[in-house]
């Protein structure tokens, strides 16, 4: 275990449904195991009323930057895990300099691709309704590219779901997978590689991608 020496530096990109729940799962577990880690949570969004119910915020956090609300609750100077806020959206690879591992859980393809190009361990977490997807640096590159097409920003809840009272929990599965990935990697154990499925229909198979030679 990484209980002594220089703490590993972990970035969590995105503090929404996946990122906020992942932080709440991972940080207490790392502290329980006394694994020294420096965690930075990066996001420039503020807490809105529509976030309550599936993101780890309360009415007292409304109007506050998400990362500031998380860090105010989770940071502890005397613990093995130090947590800091970065009130930025990921736009440039230089923002990730110095991190040993990255968890990306945002709803846009551009930041995902920045993370995919890094030479450090990363995991990419996604969800939609009751569905979830996890890809990692150990996934086939062709599959990662295929699974990361251009698209508009997407919420972890389907359009109109919250208004209809149809909140679904795929984000919780994605957050759990990400927490397991980070914990296993920091313990020096094999982390999960990839996963995709639905809470209603179970596990799905990833497509088989055949590279075409030029």
Min mean pLDDT across 76-85, 137-146, 147-156 is at 147-156
Q: What is the mean pLDDT of residues 68-92?
A: 96
* For residue 157, pLDDT beyond 80: no
The pLDDT, as a whole number, for residue 179 is 98
How far are the Cα atoms of 93, 181, 194 from residue 189, in angstroms, in the given order? Answer: 27, 9, 15
Whether the pLDDT of residue 25 is over 50: the answer is: yes
pLDDT in tens, 1-16: 444 557 899 999 999 9
pLDDT of residue 212: 57
**What is the tally of helices (H) and strands (E) in the chain?**
5, 8
CB 82 within 8 A of CB 64: no
- Segment 97-115 shows an average pLDDT of 96
Q: Does domain 8-199 have CATH number 3.40.50.11540?
A: no
Share of the chain above pLDDT 90, in %: 83
Q: What is the pLDDT of residue 167?
A: 81
d(CA 74, CA 69): 9
The predicted model gives 69-77 an average pLDDT of: 95
Q: Give the contacts of 22 (CB within 8 A, at least 6 positions apart).
A: 12, 103, 105, 125, 174, 175, 178, 179, 182
**pLDDT higher at 204 or 50:** 204
Q: Which of 122, 130, 144, 123 is nearest to 173 (CA)?
A: 130
**What pLDDT band is residue 213 in, cutting at 50, 70 and 90?**
low
User: Phi and psi dihedrals of 147, rounded to 5?
Assistant: -85, 5
How far from 134 is each of 7, 18, 57, 112, 122, CA to CA, in Å? 25, 11, 24, 12, 11
Res. 172 pLDDT band, cuts 50 70 90:
very high
> What's the whole-number average pLDDT of the chain?
92
Contact call for residues 27 and 45 (beta carbons, < 8 A): no
Label the pairing between strands 101-104 and 81-86. Answer: unpaired
What is the predicted pLDDT for the residue at 3? 47
Question: Is the entire prediction scored with pTM above 0.85?
Answer: yes
Q: Phi, psi at residue 134, to the nearest 5°? A: -130, 125
């Amino acid at each position: 275990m990484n209980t002594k020496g220089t703490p590993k530096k972990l970035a969590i990109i995105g503090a929404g449904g996946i990122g906020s729940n992942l932080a709440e799962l991972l940080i207490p577990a790392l502290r329980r195991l006394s694994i020294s880690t420096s965690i930075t949570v990066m996001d420039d969004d503020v807490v809105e009323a529509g976030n309550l119910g599936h993101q780890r915020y309360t009415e007292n956090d409304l109007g506050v930057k998400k990362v500031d609300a998380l860090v105010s609750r989770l940071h502890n100077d005397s613990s093995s895990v130090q947590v800091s806020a970065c009130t930025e959206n990921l736009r440039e690879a230089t923002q990730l300099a110095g991190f040993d591992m990255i968890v990306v859980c945002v709803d846009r393809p551009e930041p995902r691709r920045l993370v995919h190009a890094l030479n450090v361990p990363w995991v990419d977490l996604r969800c939609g309704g009751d569905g979830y997807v996890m890809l990692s640096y150990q996934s086939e590159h062709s599959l990662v590219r295929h699974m990361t097409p251009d698209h508009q920003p997407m919420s972890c809840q389907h359009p109109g779901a919250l208004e209809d009272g149809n909140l679904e929990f795929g984000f919780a599965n994605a957050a759990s997978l990400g927490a397991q990935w980070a914990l296993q990697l920091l313990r020096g154990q094999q982390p999960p590689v990839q996963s995709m499925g639905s809470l209603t229909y179970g596990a799905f198979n990833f497509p088989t991608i055949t590279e075409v030679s030029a």
